[in-house]
Structures are given as C-alpha cells and as structure tokens.
Structure 1
C-alpha cells in the first residue's frame, strides 16, 4: 500500500541557480510524478483537481511544461504532501524553473535540438565528450567558431552567425564559475589539429588557446588526443557528449549524439551505460592528458 512506502522527498535536490532552470524543472517533475504514484492518484484524477488535461499532467511530470505554483501546491494537497520543508523547497524550485534558460538571449541562433544540452550542461558534475572532426565547441576561439559556423550555414545572415558565435563563446564560462563548476573531459581525434579550419593563423591561435585553457583550469579541464592507432575505438564517427549530474537520484545521466542535420538524446540507464563504456574505452586508449600540452606544442609548429 502507498502508506507503507517511504514518501518521496525533494530535499536532496538543492536550490542552485547556477545549474539552470531546466535542471530544477526536471527534478521537480520527477518529484511530482513520484508523489502522485505514492498517493495512488491516477493522472486523470490529478488533472481534474487542477482543471487541466491529462496531457498537461504528463508534460508537467516530464519537465516539458511550465509550473504554476498554485497548481503545484494544489497537487501536493491532493497527494497529501504536507511537510512544510518539502513545500518550501518546492516553491523555491518552481521559482527557479520559471527563469530564462541560458540559451534564451540567443534564441534566434540556438538550434532547437541543441537547446536541451545547452540548458542541462551547467548542472553537470562531469562532462565527457568525443569530437572526431573539430575542436569541441566549449574550447573554440571566436574566429575558429565563426569559420565552422559559416561553413555549416553559408546562407545565414551575418547577424545570426555572430549570435551563434556569441552563444558558443559563453559556454566555457560554466567551467570558470566559483560554485560547483563541471569537470570537462574532452577527447579529440588527432586529425582535428591537422584539418585546416580557416587560415593557418586561425589554427595557430586555436591551439594556443587550448594550451592557455589547460594552464588556466588544470583541475576542471582535461583534454586527451586520440591518435589514428586507437583504431575501432575512435571510429564513432560523430560527436558524443555524456553528462553526469550532481544529483543522479533526481537527474539521470544524459547522452547527446550530434548529427549533421540534428541530434539525438538518450537518458535510459542502458543507453547511458553503453555510451559511458564506449567513452571510457576511448579515454583508455587515447594519449594520456598529461601528454596533451606536448602534443599541442608539436601541432603548433605545423601552423607557424
């Protein structure tokens, strides 16, 4: 019976504005779903209680709908969740979930399929990425990013290109923040530093930028270079990003698989574990991070 099970709690999810609104919304969504299940209330019954549709309850419980505090409080009444500490935390999370997402100032330039990654990466404890073609977006210089974006979107107006570049430039700032910054482990194919993106000067300054970032953030940024000798381990063929969060009991791992015309997200544990194993294997056969500065210095000589 519901009364025999331990009641759900949201107290383990802190109010952390630097993690972004979507993380708070997803945590709250899962909490509401668990509260409804614990109370034995059907979605249709919950919908009637706040005069909405069953589809809206579904969107609320998956983090795809905005929350109104009055509706949430009414649902908690129906679910008999009366603990004042729980309800106070819920109110704070609802408030945080309503704030603009990190990408919204660049809404015209943020591709819809990229927005979930942009919104959730600030909440990550650890990010592992593999990039077989280019320097990862977080680590690009402005001129390198502009060259890449222009190549992919040759018909876009200059203003939109500039907005996309600005959006890409701000992503590194999460690694610089004082409160709970993510750790980024980026693995790139060695051919990335042989493939010309723009002029030799663009490549030279990009590699110098990477060296500077490694010196600036030795504990938050780890860069590994995968040589061709890694063989099949590096034959993934497309960028992969694996996010692990500070509160996995509220936010499960998320995998982002980039494709030329879109992206795919995976958050089922079986998918997450599979890509985690793939990336772990790649990290194991790539050159150790301790060798990266020397390898970058060697690549630098190519572009002088």
Structure 2
C-alpha cells in the first residue's frame, strides 16, 4: 500500500504559490489581471497561490513577466520549483476513479498541521474502519460503483488515514453528534468494531474525539458537516471544506473561514469533554455488543 511520503508534492506547491502571491501583491497586480494573463479565472490563481493547483512552466514565465521579475536566477529557481511542484500526489494513480473534487480534498488535508472536523451523520473517513467504510461507500457515496472501484476506494481510504500517524501527523479534533455513534451502519458487529476503534485511537490533544449528546438539544452544528484545515506557513490561508450531494465546496476567504472557525468553537463548547465522550462511546459500544 503506498503511503504519503515526506516531503509531499503539495508542500512545494504551497511554497511556490505563496511566493507567487507575494510577488503579485508587491507588483500591485489584481488576481483577475493575473488570471487573464494565463487564460484562467480568479479561482485558478487562488488555487495556485494556495498550493492546490500546480503552475506550469509557461504560466510561471507569463506571471513572472507580469509581476516585473527580471532577476534571471530568481525566475529560474521559481520555474524549477513550480515544475517540481507539479509532481502528483499518491492519489494520482487512482485518478480514473476519484472525482477531481475529492482529489482536491486529499491535497488540502495532506499538508495541514491541524484539522477540525464536525460530523453530525457519519464517522469521518479518516476514522472509519474498513468494514464501516465499505458500508458507507456502497450505501451512500458510490451506490453504482463496480467491485473494482470499491476496492480502489477502500484502498484510498486506508492510505488516506496514514496522515494521522507518525511524527508529522496533524492535530485532529473531531466533534461528532451522538447520532453518529448511535446510528446503526452495517449492523451491530460493524458498529461495535467502529466504536472500539474510536476509543483505541483517541489520544488528546493529538487526536481528540468529542461527542455532542442528545441532551444538548440545539447546537451550532445543525446546519451540517464541515472541516477546517490549518497550515504551518502563516501566509497560507485556512481552508473550509463543505460537502454536498454531488461534490464539495472549499472556502478560503477570511470572512467565511472565520465564521466556520467560530462555529466550530461553539460546537466544541457544546460537546462533552474528551473523557466523558469516550464514556458515551463506550456505552453505545456495549449496547451494540448486546445485539451481536
């Protein structure tokens, strides 16, 4: 099974992107003008500057000229870095199965130093057992997928979870509505193993799992699931991920990101502390075990 290697390609893309953003701002060039120069749109410049999309050699040359960069050594260095940054991540080998939006999420989460996740419906993919993941893929995510596609998606999910292991693992804070651990997905045995895994991997503050109990009633997360990704470079913008039926939305502008960060703070304040949350998960686990 391939594993995300360090340094990851997106690390270099982010460094290149942040430098191109610095040069653009220093030159007083608007995103729209830069986009027009390379035949794209404002969102493409945003993706490139945040390391979510590579910059081709021709695009790099055009942008550096637009930004007035005449130092040949600097131009050569940035073009070389841009070319190396276009190397694909481990998930590229599954590109014929994975939607572009999901590949974008893998790129976003692969370099984060902190991930804040709220999920009111299902255990997040990063924490799923193989059995739970298979039920989720077959029943919700890819109902019409072939057996070969399902095998690929399970392999991707397993490899994706590697980012939570080792010294380079991001801090991961996951808040679940109690419905997640009470809703039967795949039967009592599948649920019991999934809840056992949540208990086993809980390791605050590196990996924190908290539960919002039913008794809380209304809380700030009732509008739906979301994740917030934070990066090591202070120049990198945080990213918010919102899923919907046919894809995903990524927010990077300060206003929306700050609102979701505030919402997560409110959601976490409504949740039980980590130790109490594990006790609630243990209680749900016992209920499922009785039915096996």
TM-score category, normalised to shorter length: 0.7 to 0.9
Correspondence for 1:175: 164
Of the structure 1 ranges 279-288 and 20-29, higher mean CA displacement relative to structure 2 is found in: 20-29
Superposed, 1:93-132 pairs within 5 Å as 93-132=81-120
2:226 aligns with 240
Is the contact between residue 240 and residue 251 of structure 2 (CA under 8 Å) also seen in structure 1?
Answer: yes
Aligned length: 279
Distance 1:203 1:22, change over 3 A: same
> What's the offset of the Cα at 1:67?
3.0
The corresponding residue for 2:207 is 221
Provide TM-score, normalisation by structure 1.
Answer: 0.80
Give the structure 1 partner of residue 55 of structure 2: 67
| Structure of greater Rg | 1
Equivalent pair of 2:114/2:229 in contact (CA under 8 Å): yes
Aligned residue for 1:171, secondary structure, equals helix
In 2 relative to 1, CA 140–83 (structure 1 residues): closer, same or farther, beyond 3 Å?
A: same
The alpha-carbon deviation at position 290 of structure 1 amounts to 2.3
Aligned to 2:151: 162
Task: Tell me which of 38, 44, 55 is aligned to 2:39.
Answer: 55
CA deviations on 1:36-91 (whole Å, 9 max, x unpaired) are 443467899989xxxx954159646641764345763675477236396x668636
Q: How does 1:73-84 map to 2 (within 5 A)?
A: 76=64, 79-80=68-69, 82=71
Q: Residues 116 and 23 from structure 1, CA distance in 2 versus in 1: closer, same or farther, beyond 3 angstroms? A: farther
Shift of 1:231: 2.6
C-alpha distance after superposition, 1:126-154 (max 9, x if no partner): 11000101111100000100001100232
- Offset at 1:199? 1.8
What's the Cα RMSD here? Answer: 3.0
Q: Does 1:273 align with 2:271?
A: no
- Give the stretch that moved more between structures: 88-97 or 181-190: 88-97
SS in 2 for 1:118: helix
Aligned equivalents of 1:107 and 1:173: distance in 2? 19
Please give the secondary structure, in 1, of the residue aligned with 2:115. strand
Residue aligning to 1:201:
189
Give the Cα–Cα distance (whole angstroms) in 1 for the partners of residues 242 and 17 of structure 2. Answer: 24
Distance 1:132 1:277 in 2: 17
What TM-score do you get using the length of structure 2 for normalisation? 0.82
- Residue 199 to residue 166, structure 1, CA distance change in 2 (3 Å): same
Query: For 1:85-123, what per-residue CA distance to the aligned partner results, in whole angstroms no more than 9, with x for missing partners?
Result: x66863664244121123212223322222222111121
User: How far off is 1:265 after superposition?
Assistant: 1.3
Aligned-residue offset at 1:186: 0.3
C-alpha contact 1:227 1:287 (8 A) present in aligned 2: yes
SS at match of 2:97: coil
Distance 1:25 1:74, change over 3 A: same
